[in-house]
């Protein structure tokens, strides 16, 4: 089956404008400079995910196509409206920026690995004050939305972003909120990408259902040394996309992470212009 997904992007903290190399903060249209290493890393990720796209898409239960649409666009037959949101600035983002600005930086280390963060200062990093402001600023846009379901990564910075950006919806109990393990950021090696226990998260965010988080501890942390591969992350994003496609809701919001969303947009979803709608899934 082919399911169309109309994508309304709300990538609030690292939305890259291809033509200008600028950053749109909080979806306001105001651009600010981004660091060269960020552009280089995005290009590297896109290349890696593109290399596994055919393999990943071939395993999926649905072939999913997408096209950007306006926030208030109707969900036509066979289509869903999905708003993808990247979390606001986290403590780990600031730590990395300061780490790399040091004249002593070796060009490859990060401030949140087991050797540089032995006490776990950045485990499941939360939003900074600026990150909170970015999420709150997004309400001007989310006020126009009427989602049937809000889905969040179980990691705190994504959950915080969702609850702040959609605070009026949450207060009105306008839609269920589900944390989904598959929307986890690229896992392993970075302490900032190791989530808290399920019990701790459920206590911290009582408005969120953790029915799709089945393990008490982070199942993707592994040995804490190895970083998750592009194929593994893309496969996980594909499984999440299949789950989305099978859901009954027609208008959904997904609040997650740059690596996860890059995998989704590069290795999982196919532009509608590239998808022959009469072609069945193999």
User: Is 185 in the active site?
Assistant: yes
- Ordered strands of the 63-68 beta sheet: 209-212, 177-180, 149-152, 251-256, 79-86, 2-11, 63-68, 270-271
Sort strands 149-152 and 251-256 into parallel, antiparallel or unpaired.
parallel
What is the separation of C-alpha 16 from the centre of its chain, rounded to a whole number of angstroms? 14
Query: Of these residues, 89, 110, 181, 185, which one is catalytic?
Result: 185
What is the separation of C-alpha 249 from the centre of its chain, rounded to a whole number of angstroms? 19
Query: Of these residues, 79, 83, 87, 169, which one is catalytic?
Result: 87
Assess contact for 230 and 52: CB atoms under 8 A. yes
Strand (E) or helix (H) holding 131: helix 129-137
User: Is 184 in the active site?
Assistant: no
| β strands within the chain, DSSP E | 2-11, 15-17, 22-24, 31-33, 63-68, 79-86, 149-152, 177-180, 209-212, 251-256, 270-271
Q: What is the dihedral of CA 145, 150, 154, 155, to 10 degrees?
A: 0
DSSP one-letter code for 27: G
Name the packing angle between helices 156-165 and 129-137 (round to 10°): 40
* Residues with active-site annotation: 87, 185
């Amino acid at each position: 089956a082919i399911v169309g997904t109309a994508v309304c992007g709300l990538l609030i903290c690292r939305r890259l404008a291809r033509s200008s190399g600028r950053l749109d903060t909080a979806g306001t249209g105001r651009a600010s400079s981004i660091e060269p290493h960020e552009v280089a890393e995005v290009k590297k990720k896109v290349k890696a995910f593109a290399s596994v796209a055919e393999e990943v898409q071939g395993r999926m239960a649905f072939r999913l196509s997408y096209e950007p649409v306006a926030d208030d666009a109707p969900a036509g037959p066979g289509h869903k409206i999905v708003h993808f949101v990247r979390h606001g600035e986290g403590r780990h983002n600031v730590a990395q920026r300061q780490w790399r600005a040091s004249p002593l930086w070796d060009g490859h280390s990060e401030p949140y690995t087991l050797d540089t963060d032995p006490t776990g200062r950045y485990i499941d990093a939360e939003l900074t004050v600026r990150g909170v402001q970015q999420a709150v600023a997004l309400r001007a846009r989310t006020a126009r939305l009427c989602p049937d379901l809000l889905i969040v990564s179980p990691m705190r910075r994504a959950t915080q972003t969702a609850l702040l950006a959609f605070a009026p919806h949450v207060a009105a109990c306008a839609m269920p909120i589900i944390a989904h393990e598959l929307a986890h950021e690229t896992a392993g090696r970075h302490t900032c990408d190791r989530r808290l226990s399920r019990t701790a998260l459920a206590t911290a965010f009582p408005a969120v259902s953790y029915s799709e988080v089945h393990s008490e501890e982070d199942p993707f942390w592994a040995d804490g040394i190895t970083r998750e591969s592009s194929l593994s992350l893309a496969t996980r994003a594909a499984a999440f996309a299949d789950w989305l496609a099978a859901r009954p809701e027609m208008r959904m919001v997904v609040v997650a992470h740059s690596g996860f969303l890059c995998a989704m947009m590069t290795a999982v979803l196919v532009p509608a212009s590239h998808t022959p709608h009469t072609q069945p899934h193999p």
